[in-house]
Amino acid sequence: MTKSIDAGGIDAVLTRGVESGAVPHVAAIVADADGVLYEGGAGVRINGESDDPVGASTQFRIMSMTKMVATTAALQQRERGQLDFDAPVSEYCPEFADVKVLEGWDGDTPILVDPRTPATVRHLVTHTSGLGYWFWNDDLVKYESATGIPNVVPGSAEAFKAPMTSHPGERFEYGINTDWLGKVVESVAGTTLDVVIRDNITTPLGMSDTMFALDAARQDNVVMVHVQGEDGAWGSAGGILNDSPDWWAGGHGLYSTPRDYIRFQQALLRGGELDGVRILEQSTVDEAFSHQLGDLTFPAEIPTADPPITDTLRVGPGWTWGYGLLINNEDVPGGRRAGTGAWAGLFNTHFFIDRTTGVCASIYTNSLPFITPGAWGLYGEFEQAVYAGL
């Protein structure tokens, strides 16, 4: 039986978010296993430049929501017996053998050592290899400044020279793991990641607006990344990302629309199948939605190392990581149930898939910093409004 949703209540939340200045624009969508229950939006594509309303067919840079798509590609290869999660990364990408661990500093000179154990593909999938992101790691901010090695956003292959900041298997460290995983997938497939994802995920699921490089028509439908000026007004900061990168980034490279990405969410909600097309086996999906950190824990708080890019992430205790998904171990009062899989993108896009209740949803803006109190609060209100109508 199709569920009912309080569309008016969600509309009010989105409108309030834009009118209050919490976000520059917002689109959202909700579905169950049988179809879309709600879609809507508020605000315009480019403040001060375009009157085009934002909605479920608008193109967004989904950033780290790309990770679950790339992880699915790796899981498909594992199902086919082509990829061994317990094999060293260097077995598929020999250049990974050159990646060292940053253990400290001698003044401004980094102290780099060999990892105590080889990083495996599983370490990449679970963010336990020791690879990090500069915006949540002070050592990587210093490393980039000291060496000139760029982060992944400019799209230069030089970014793969970044070191680990802990030894493999010793802690959860969110970072460029899925970019390396994308290179592993390419090595196994013998082709580029965009082709792998197109042929095995987006085309089978009918996701024609999800891709790494937009054509001219879709470029005219994309939002720009917005930042707030000193007067609090939102303005465009441009596209931020390199449209012609050296590699297709499994960690952050996809564009999508709410209508497209919800089909991917529905496939996971339904155990790996949608409209008669199966992208993963039920048992694999069950693994993705379960604790995969072994004796390690997901941090309750990850302090910011670059406030213009992101605020501190504060999820609190009781969360873990599966395969490409953040999992809550307890029900959220008035919201998602225990065992829900979720994640987000740096430009303030968020999704969740609640297999207990049978709903999935996602909400989008393209703005910085990530998880500001305004955006975080709005997305919490959206989730509460979704569940209030069930």
The reported pLDDT for the residue numbered 79 is 98
- Annotate 260-323 with DSSP letters as a single string: HHHHHHHHHHTTSEETTEESS-HHHHHHHTS---TT----SEE--S-TTTB--EE--SSEEE-S
> Residues with catalytic annotation?
64, 67, 174
Measure the CA–CA gap between 223 and 33, rounded to whole angstroms.
29
| Per-residue pLDDT reduced to its tens digit, 257-307 | 999 999 999 999 999 999 999 999 999 999 999 999 999 999 999 999 999
pLDDT at position 168 over 60? yes
pLDDT at position 195 over 90? yes
Measure the CA–CA gap between 239 and 260, rounded to whole angstroms.
20
Pairing mode of beta strands 313-314, 319-321: unpaired
**DSSP secondary structure letter of residue 98:** G
The reported pLDDT for the residue numbered 390 is 86
Mean pLDDT of all residues in the chain?
97
Of the pLDDT bands very low, low, confident and very high (cuts 50, 70, 90), residue 250 is very high
The reported pLDDT for the residue numbered 2 is 61
Percent of the chain with pLDDT over 90: 96
Of the pLDDT bands very low, low, confident and very high (cuts 50, 70, 90), residue 389 is confident
The reported pLDDT for the residue numbered 50 is 86
Look at residues 69, 92, 58, 89 and name the one whose alpha carbon lies nearest to residue 251. Answer: 69
Is the peptide bond between 369 and the residue preceding it cis, with omega within 30 degrees of 0?
Answer: yes
pLDDT at position 1 over 60? no
The reported pLDDT for the residue numbered 162 is 98
* Residue 109, beta-bridge partner list: 106
| Per-residue pLDDT reduced to its tens digit, 200-217 | 999 999 999 999 999 998
Q: Quote the tokens at residue 255.
A: 């564009």
Look at residues 365, 263, 369, 362 and name the one whose alpha carbon lies nearest to residue 310. Answer: 369
> Please, which residues have CB within 8 angstroms of residue 196's CB and are 6 or more apart in sequence?
73, 185, 186, 189
pLDDT at position 29 over 90? yes
The mean pLDDT value for 124-141 works out to 98
| Per-residue pLDDT reduced to its tens digit, 294-353 | 999 999 999 999 999 999 999 999 999 999 999 999 999 999 999 999 999 999 999 999
Percent of the chain with pLDDT over 70: 99
Domains detected in the chain: 7-64+208-388 (3.40.710.10), 79-187 (no CATH)
